Structure 1
Amino acid sequence: MNYFQVKLIKNLSEYKKTIQALTVFWTGMVAYLCLVSSDRLPEVDVIDFDKLGHFTFHFGLTFLWFLFWKATYRTENKFALLKAFLFSFFFGVVIEVCQGVFTETRYSDIRDVYANSVGALVAVLVLFLANKYRSKT
């Protein structure tokens, strides 16, 4: 383990409760916004604007869950990234199924799953590159 990783783990441990609270809040907010009646959401006249929302939601989910596993369990970067990506992916699939089964104004859309996955992959890429850059300095 290099100096940067030791310092990062120490800093994350200091903010563990904040990271945990943010992660739970973001996950709950994503679930709520994806399952709330679409009649209650503002209308935006941009084609596929909701895909940007899905991308953003899952970028944030992956990023925060990565920090959660680093701070809470001191998981190695590769495994924390994998866990964060898999959580985001399966959470997105479950939400899409729930939209189709439990809501009347929402529907399941495979393109939402793609947007979710792209957001999660971009977060993994950003975190991977940031870690690689930081470990070289």
Structure 2
Amino acid sequence: MLKNPYLPAVLCLIVITVLSLSPSVPMPKLNLLSSDKLGHAFAYAILTWLMFSGYKSAIGKDANWKTGWLFFGLSAGYGILMEIIQGTFFPYRFFEVADMIANAFGALMVVLFFAKSTKDTNQSQAH
């Protein structure tokens, strides 16, 4: 067991930061279903999932809706911050609203998954 159950989420955050601020190969502008956008959604889904996992390890129970929305806000907010930093301080990176949408989408999918699985678990325990 990890001494700090949130360490995997912190490490994921560091990886996202490094990838977000490193020079990248220019990619053609495609639609929201491009591999770039799927990569953004996947990275922020993993980050959010690791937050849920860390919470359960630290607290001993699943997160409630309020905590789930907090995790969504933290993940999506960090995605917005990364886009602002890219567009402001790094001439080889670009501010893209579509990236922010993809980041938030990935985080949201995890929150909805956990909400559904927690609801299903609670219902099955009640019967």
For Structure 1 versus Structure 2, the TM-score category normalised by the shorter chain is: 0.7 to 0.9
1:95 paired residue number:
82
1:14-72 deviation per Cα after TM superposition (whole angstroms, max 9, x unaligned) = x4536322111111101111111114xxx778943210111001111111112223433
1:22 paired residue number:
8
Give the total of aligned pairs: 120
2:112 is the counterpart of 1:117? no
1:92-128 deviation per Cα after TM superposition (whole angstroms, max 9, x unaligned) = 0000001111212110000001111111111111111
Distance in 2 between residues matched to 1:101 and 1:45, nearest whole Å: 21
Contact 2:45-2:107 within 8 A present in 1 as well: yes
TM-score, normalisation: structure 2: 0.81
Distance in 1 between residues matched to 2:82 and 2:110, nearest whole Å: 19
1:74-96 deviation per Cα after TM superposition (whole angstroms, max 9, x unaligned) = 68512220111010111000000
Give the percent of matched residue pairs that are identical in Structure 1 and Structure 2.
28
RMSD of the alignment, in Å? 2.3
2:99 is the counterpart of 1:106? no
Contact 2:12-2:47 within 8 A present in 1 as well: yes
TM-score, normalisation: structure 1: 0.76
2:47 partner amino acid: L
1:31 equivalent among 13, 17, 25? 17
2:65 partner amino acid: K
Contact 2:5-2:55 within 8 A present in 1 as well: no
Distance in 1 between residues matched to 2:111 and 2:58, nearest whole Å: 19
Structure with the larger helix share: 1
Distance in 2 between residues matched to 1:71 and 1:132, nearest whole Å: 19
Distance in 2 between residues matched to 1:53 and 1:130, nearest whole Å: 24
Residue ranges of structure 2 left out of the alignment (5+ in a row): none
